[in-house]
Amino acid sequence: MPPGQPEQPDGGGMPPDVRSRIHVSDALAAAARALRDDPQRMPGALCQACVRLLPVTGASVSISGGRGVQVTWCASDRVAARLAELQYTLGDGPCQTSLDQGAPVIAADLTAGRDARRWPVFAHEAAGLGVFAVFSLPLGVSGAAVGTLDLYCDQVGGLSEPDLRTALWVRDAVTYALMSVQPAYGTDDEAEEGVASWLEASEADHTEVYQAVGMVMVQIEVDPEQALDRMRARAFAEGRTVSQVARDVLARKLRFQPEPDDPDDDEQGRDGDRS
């Protein structure tokens, strides 16, 4: 080293925040490149990369299809997927709050205190899945949330300031991946078809739920929010998802009826349980 020249820190004098951000970008790009021959697995690979970059147990990305309607785009594991579906079915939880407020929501302890009281049913159900902390970050630009990145931990605790910064960088990268027309790993026709396939299942679920809500509105003469609430209640009571209930409504296996005076006259299916 020439005399008088200050010693360069690791990274060639690059600030730690910049190095960390480059590390996040490189890790997510590597996940994309590794799946260039199987683009349909790309969303799941991004979620798994999020878990490797952060001190969390699992991750999922949910896409909002309008007020009250959302679907899971990807999940790192079954618990992450179930957690996302649970919040949609309940219409409550950190994910819903983050989506509504367009701001990060940190629930560091779902077993007690403010977080448990804020979403009591969700907190109870999450704990039953072995989830004790959830961090939800809105996806989108210019304050318009188009979905959420949801991280969960199997133990109580929040995120340190450096980890939260990393989580926000991961959120930005996932937002770009979600909203970009072209994938990060190529621009050929096959890759473009792969990008379309990422959202295909989500679009199908959106359409099914919207159509089912419309049918329930007619059946019980209520507005869209009330129809969705009835579907959510039915799904939660039966331990199913709203999407599953929507499919039954569309297949005419399930028909909703106006709120009766006699509780035994509530919604009845076509499988012989109709009074």
**pLDDT score recorded for residue 70:** 67
Q: Residue 193 pLDDT more than 60?
A: no
Locate tokens 């209930």: which residue? Answer: 245
Phi-psi region of 113 (alpha: psi -120 to 50; beta: other; left: phi over 0): left
At 38, is the pLDDT very low, low, confident or very high (cuts 50, 70, 90)? low
Q: By three-state DSSP, how is residue 70 classified?
A: strand
Count of CB atoms within 10 A of residue 45's CB? 20
- Bigger pLDDT: 30 vs 58: 58
Q: Which helix (H) or strand (E) holds 63?
A: strand 58-64
How far is residue 257 from each of residues 62, 133, 219, 264, measured CA to CA in Å? 31, 38, 6, 11
What domain count does the chain have?
A: 2
> Are 261 and 153 part of one and the same domain?
no
Q: Residue 158 pLDDT more than 50?
A: yes
Q: Answer whether residue 10 is part of any domain.
A: no
> Are 135 and 236 part of one and the same domain?
no
Q: Average pLDDT, stretch 127-142?
A: 90
Domain of residue 147, residue span: 16-179
Q: Answer whether residue 218 is part of any domain.
A: yes
Share of the chain above pLDDT 70, in %: 68
**pLDDT score recorded for residue 47:** 84
Q: Answer whether residue 4 is part of any domain.
A: no
Digit-coded pLDDT (tens) for 204-242: 555 677 788 888 888 888 887 788 778 878 887 887 777
> Are 202 and 172 part of one and the same domain?
no
Q: Answer whether residue 275 is part of any domain.
A: no
Computed over every residue of the chain, the mean pLDDT equals 75
Query: Is residue 244 a contact partner of residue 269, using CB atoms and an 8 Å limit?
Result: no
- Bigger pLDDT: 103 vs 200: 103
> Are 131 and 256 part of one and the same domain?
no
Cα gap 143→72, rounded to integer Å:
21
Q: Residue 5 pLDDT more than 60?
A: no
> Are 83 and 162 part of one and the same domain?
yes
Query: Is residue 98 a contact partner of residue 145, using CB atoms and an 8 Å limit?
Result: yes
> Are 175 and 207 part of one and the same domain?
no
Least confident of 4-18, 110-124, 213-227: 4-18
> Are 39 and 75 part of one and the same domain?
yes
Q: Residue 172 pLDDT more than 90?
A: no
Cα gap 201→44, rounded to integer Å:
13
The percent helix, strand, coil of the chain (3-state, each to 5) is 55, 15, 30
Q: Answer whether residue 234 is part of any domain.
A: yes
Q: Residue 267 pLDDT more than 70?
A: no
Q: What is the pTM of this model?
A: 0.65
Classify residue 6 by its DSSP letter: P
Digit-coded pLDDT (tens) for 59-103: 998 887 655 556 788 889 999 999 998 888 888 899 989 988 889
At 106, is the pLDDT very low, low, confident or very high (cuts 50, 70, 90)? very high
Integer-rounded Cα radius of gyration of the chain: 22
Q: Answer whether residue 6 is part of any domain.
A: no
> Are 172 and 202 part of one and the same domain?
no
> Are 169 and 57 part of one and the same domain?
yes
Q: Residue 198 pLDDT more than 60?
A: no
CATH code at position 124: 3.30.450.40
How far is residue 26 from each of residues 22, 23, 45, measured CA to CA in Å? 6, 5, 14
Q: Answer whether residue 192 is part of any domain.
A: no
Angle CA 266–268–273, to nearest 5: 120
CATH code at position 263: 1.10.10
Least confident of 93-97, 117-121, 133-137, 169-173: 169-173
> Are 95 and 160 part of one and the same domain?
yes
> Are 36 and 93 part of one and the same domain?
yes
Least confident of 47-56, 130-139, 223-232, 264-273: 264-273
> Are 66 and 40 part of one and the same domain?
yes
Q: Answer whether residue 8 is part of any domain.
A: no
